[in-house]
Amino acid sequence: MIFKGRFLTIPNMLTLLRLALLPFILFLIDHDLQGNLKAIFILLLIQGLTDALDGFLARRLNQVTTWGKILDPVADKLTFDLIMIALVKYGFPMIVATLFIVRDFLIAALAFFVILKYDTIPKPNVLGKFNTFLIVFFILVFLIAPVEAYKLFYVPVLAALVMSGIIYFDRWRKFVKEQNGKEGE
């Protein structure tokens, strides 16, 4: 079964810290976005640093676990999806939030299918990582840039969302086709 191995590792604790910070970020956004901007920015910075650090430490300390491979992307998806939902009431583009959340849901559903059926964890692709960077940048521009400046990034963000989704689905389609071919042997 895929859910085996160590759970209490330094990288996994950093990922859990990211999840623990999320309710505070959402509370600050919901109650006074402009008044809490500095605190929100600091918490997002901590989240970003711990996200980068958990992967680095997992490899460096030889603490790569199946739990971490699942927990890290779940933390990313929850963080970005919920923050975008919270920001919509302040004018964050609904189309970006909706596409991102639908894409995340479909990717998570396919990953869950692959994990259950083939007992393996799909790996993220480079465009997916770039897409994460781009959406973080887009959120930060939305939060701190002059009004409407974030609209300059609509097209690149939407293009990255669509392209990374297509690449993920194509990769998984090929993987499933390959696995089904092996089962027939």
Task: Judge whether 4 lies within some domain.
Answer: no
* Both tokens assigned to 66: 């199946």
* Helix (H) or strand (E) run with residue 111 in it: helix 94-118
Query: What is the distance between the alpha carbons of residues 52 and 122, in angstroms, rounded to a whole number?
Result: 19
Query: What is the distance between the alpha carbons of residues 20 and 14, in angstroms, rounded to a whole number?
Result: 10
Task: Judge whether 61 lies within some domain.
Answer: yes
> Which candidate, 4, 144, 112, 125, places its Cα nearest to that of 67?
4
The CATH number for 37's domain is 1.20.120.1760
Task: Judge whether 133 lies within some domain.
Answer: yes
* Helix (H) or strand (E) run with residue 157 in it: helix 154-183
CB 166 within 8 A of CB 105: no
Return the DSSP state at 6: -
* Both tokens assigned to 168: 């993920």
Task: Judge whether 5 lies within some domain.
Answer: no
Structural domain boundaries, residue 136: 10-179
Task: Judge whether 124 lies within some domain.
Answer: yes
Task: Judge whether 184 lies within some domain.
Answer: no
Query: What is the distance between the alpha carbons of residues 171 and 173, in angstroms, rounded to a whole number?
Result: 5
Per the structure, how many domains does the chain have?
1
SS3 for 35? coil
Query: What is the distance between the alpha carbons of residues 62 and 67, in angstroms, rounded to a whole number?
Result: 14
Task: Judge whether 3 lies within some domain.
Answer: no
* Both tokens assigned to 112: 């869950």
Can you state the angle between helices 66-88 and 126-144, rounded to 10 degrees? 30
CB 110 within 8 A of CB 170: no
- Burial per residue of 123-143, b for 16 or more beta-carbon CB atoms within 10 angstroms, e otherwise: ebeebbeebbebbbebbebbb
**Looking at residue 155, what is its pLDDT?**
87
**Looking at residue 16, what is its pLDDT?**
95
pLDDT in tens, the chain (185 residues): 555 678 889 999 999 999 999 999 999 999 988 899 999 999 998 998 998 899 899 999 999 888 888 899 899 999 999 999 999 999 999 999 999 999 989 988 888 888 888 888 777 777 777 888 888 888 888 888 877 788 888 888 888 888 888 888 888 888 888 888 876 55
